[in-house]
Amino acid sequence: MAALVRRLCRRSYIPVFGPGYRMLSTIENVSENGKSMNLYSAINQALHIALETDPRSYVFGEDVGFGGVFRCTTGLAERFGKSRVFNTPLCEQGIVGFGIGLAAMGNRVIAEIQFADYIFPAFDQIVNEAAKFRYRSGNQFNCGGLTIRAPYGAVGHGGHYHSQSPEAFFCHVPGIKVVIPRSPREAKGLLLSSIRDPNPVVFFEPKWLYRQAVEDVPEDDYMIPLSEAEVIREGSDITLVGWGAQLTIMEQACLDAENEGISCELIDLKTLIPWDKEIVETSVRKTGRLLISHEAPVTGGFGAEIAATIVERCFLRLEAPVSRVCGLDTPFPLVFEPFYMPTKNKILDAIKSTVNY
């Protein structure tokens, strides 16, 4: 592997984004000339653009050479060659460690962890190496070109080892960013921003939505800024905050609540670290109430950090305690998955109890 690093790093570094890329402040600014595609196809298109616009970008991981388990890397090896898109051994620690070294030499690295559940063997490399690389040298060198992709969350039949949501573990670590998209258009723009960001990024992809989420996605090169949340539904009675696949469930709950006369404001956080505190604070100061929902277990989930921050900033404006509707404090079940999940009805009940507090 060391020999491969030396061979890859012989080429001169040319940081190219291409003449057509754009930074978009909101998804509404995206060109309407799009093509209907699902989330995994949008990820695949973003990877094609990243490899095409930067000659020192690389994609690697377990089985990515033939397209990967979820087909996100389909066609990349054939188009860009096996020296830039290649399989690795089944060793997550090695995948990330290799990526850190390759990024430290000025390359743009997209490393895939096949399932987020298996990112834990690489935890030391991410937390103690990638996150601290820039700081240990006083900014003389860094591995900011590293992006780690990982499918996370429930899939309907994944059980203990293919359903977990580990984002909160990495939100405790200064030096990395954590990004989770909710839809195909968001996934493409946020992934390109993550790849081109000068900091290491852990990019979690909601595998439940790989094929279920379909919408028009612009085929051109565009980026959506990191650390900018979005109000995707305006309301006046309560603020709901979530990310990833959970936004679909929360939006359904908002529609049902509207039928009962409750106006819900729904915010997609998009980037968990560093997260957009200001947009959430502004919303809560207007509504006076906050509900947070995520698939990960409630104890120690990132929702607790949001709740604590908003209580500090908006204590005198709150009309009710902050509510959290999350996964249960148990290993992710198989046949009991419907009981574990923060469902629409659970969220709707929490909305009504918070508003009526």
Give the mean model confidence (pLDDT) for residues 17-40.
62
- Per-residue confidence at 151, pLDDT binned at 50, 70, 90? very high
226-239 pLDDT, tens digit each: 999 999 999 999 99
Alpha-carbon separation of residue 46 from 49, 51, 74, 244, 318 (angstroms) = 5, 9, 12, 18, 41
Asked if the model's pLDDT at residue 351 lies above 60, the reply is yes
Is 70 exceeded by the pLDDT of residue 24?
A: no
Q: How far apart are CA 125 and CA 128, in angstroms?
A: 6
- Does the pLDDT of residue 205 top 70, yes or no? yes
pLDDT of residue 3 exceeding 50, the answer is: no
275 φψ region: left (φ > 0), alpha (ψ -120 to 50), beta (else): beta
Of the pLDDT bands very low, low, confident and very high (cuts 50, 70, 90), residue 4 is very low
Ranges 16-20, 67-71, 100-104, 180-184: which has the least confidence: 16-20
Compute the distance between CA of residue 278 and CA of residue 30 in angstroms, rounded to an integer: 24
This prediction has a pTM of 0.91
End-to-end alpha-carbon separation of the chain, Å?
59
Question: For 156, phi and psi rounded to 5 degrees?
Answer: 100, -20
- pLDDT for 317: 97
Note the pLDDT of residue 156.
Answer: 87
pLDDT at residue 153 is higher than 90: yes
Mean pLDDT is lowest, of 7-21, 76-90, 140-154, for 7-21
Helix (H) or strand (E) holding 58: strand 57-61
Phi, psi for residue 57 in degrees, rounded to 5: -110, 145
Report pLDDT for 60. Answer: 98
Distance between CA 98 and CA 36 in Å, rounded?
A: 35
Given the residues 92, 112, 205, 265, the one annotated as active site: 92
Q: pLDDT by residue (tens digit) across 258-306?
A: 999 999 999 999 999 999 999 999 999 999 999 999 999 999 999 999 9
Distance, in Å, from the CA atom of 261 to the CA atom of 344, rounded to the nearest integer, reads 17
Quick one: pLDDT band at residue 195, thresholds 50, 70, 90?
very high
User: What confidence category does residue 19 fall into, taking pLDDT thresholds of 50, 70 and 90?
Assistant: very low
Predicted confidence at residue 34, as pLDDT, reads 87
The DSSP H or E segment spanning 15 is none
> Is 172 one of the annotated active-site residues of the chain?
no
Q: Quick check: 206 and 180 in contact, CB under 8 A?
A: yes
d(CA 83, CA 346): 49
Question: Cβ–Cβ contacts within 10 Å for residue 136, how many?
Answer: 13
294 is catalytic: no
Task: Name the least confident of 22-36, 50-64, 167-181, 319-333.
Answer: 22-36
Contact between 246 and 46 under an 8 Å Cβ cutoff? The reply is: no
Query: In terms of DSSP H, where are the helices of 142-245?
Result: 167-171, 184-196, 209-212
Give, for 332, the enclosing helix (H) or strand (E).
none
- The pLDDT-based confidence of 8 (bands split at 50, 70, 90) is very low
Query: Which of 112, 129, 162, 230 is the catalytic position?
Result: 162
Decide which of 33 and 342 is more confident. Answer: 342
